[in-house]
Structure 1
Amino acid sequence: MASQHVRVESTTTADPATVYALLRDGSGWPEFTPLGSYELVSAGTGEPTELGEIRIFHTGRFHAREQIVEMIENRRLSYVLLAGMPLRGYRADVDLEPTDSGTLIRWHSTFDPKTFGTGWLYRTQLQGFIQKTADGLAARATEVARDR
């Protein structure tokens, strides 16, 4: 089975530190993304404190259990899917790049489907979902920066 890739981009007038602060706080994601709710399963044990955090996002009948596996301050947050979707090796890297007018958000996910022939379906669904998530993050970051 071929690995699947999802790449989306969004921009905000907020600086990378503002965007990164929103990314770090999983409890706030349901406020600006299509995610339904957040549940902390176990706190991170690394530095920064969220590194290793295990969380569940509940959205309708889906319950995605994820773990934060990489954090580079104001530049990157990466997580892996532990359970909740019929995918193997799912990893997402959210990279923040400063621009003259704010921040470019690049969200890249890779995975292998568990069932042969379903990769295109999950890629298509995730493409739209992740684009809405990135756009929501960008919009929220713009609001936070404007309200300062």
Structure 2
Amino acid sequence: MSCSYVVTSHSSANPDAVFAVLVHATTWPVWSAIDSVEFEGGDPEGPQQVGDMRVFRTGRAISRERIVELVTDRRFEYENVSGPFRSYRGTVELAQAPQGGTAITWSAAFEPKLRLSGPFWRWYLTRFMQRMADGLAAYAEAPTDGSSGVC
């Protein structure tokens, strides 16, 4: 059974600033509930590219994700390649918001390995990913004077 979620947030930062944060996985533990990140491909100090693998740790949970599509300042897509899912493809869409800044839409389609666990995962991921989207929005707004944000 295929499941999905969609969450939204707004950042006063422009789409290019939000995108810059997304492609620098080293920032993710700063603005999200993720505890740490490791890299299985790509340059940890530079922007991530299509094909790069990141390993996120949150508590005892480990999530291995591969970047599958990048559209500069517009879209970031990834697949979870381990964990409790048969398939999981997430998308972060960025659009210039009518009131200024960036409209962030974070969504995913997934299929859990454990039958009948879909409603639980939809509930959990909707809440977790809302925190991710809100954290991304706020962090991208931070000044980039070297004290926070992406330099």
TM-score by length of 2: 0.89
Say if 1:96 and 1:106, in contact at 8 Å, map to a contact too.
Answer: yes
Please tell me the residue identity of whatever aligns with 1:98: Q
- Aligned equivalents of 1:142, 1:124: Cα separation in 2: 28
1:144: Cα distance to partner? Answer: 3.3
Bigger share in strand: 1
One of 77, 89, 92 as aligned partner of 1:91: 89
- Number of equivalences: 143
- Aligned equivalents of 2:110, 2:78: Cα separation in 1: 12
Q: Name the counterpart of 1:58.
A: 57
- Aligned equivalents of 1:42, 1:132: Cα separation in 2: 26
The percentage of counterpart residues that share the same residue type is: 36
Q: Name the counterpart of 2:129.
A: 130
Bigger share in helix: 1
Please tell me the residue identity of whatever aligns with 2:42: A
Q: Name the counterpart of 2:68.
A: 69
Say if 1:4 and 1:112, in contact at 8 Å, map to a contact too.
Answer: yes
| Gapped regions of structure 1 (runs ≥ 5) | none
Q: Cα RMSD (Å) of the superposition?
A: 1.9
Corresponding residue SS for 2:57 = strand
Over 2 Å off, 4+ runs: 144-148
| Gapped regions of structure 2 (runs ≥ 5) | none
Deviation track 1:5-58 (CA, whole Å, cap 9, x = no partner) reads 1100000100000000000001110000000001011128xxx86111001001
Corresponding residue SS for 1:144 = coil
- Aligned equivalents of 2:41, 2:141: Cα separation in 1: 30
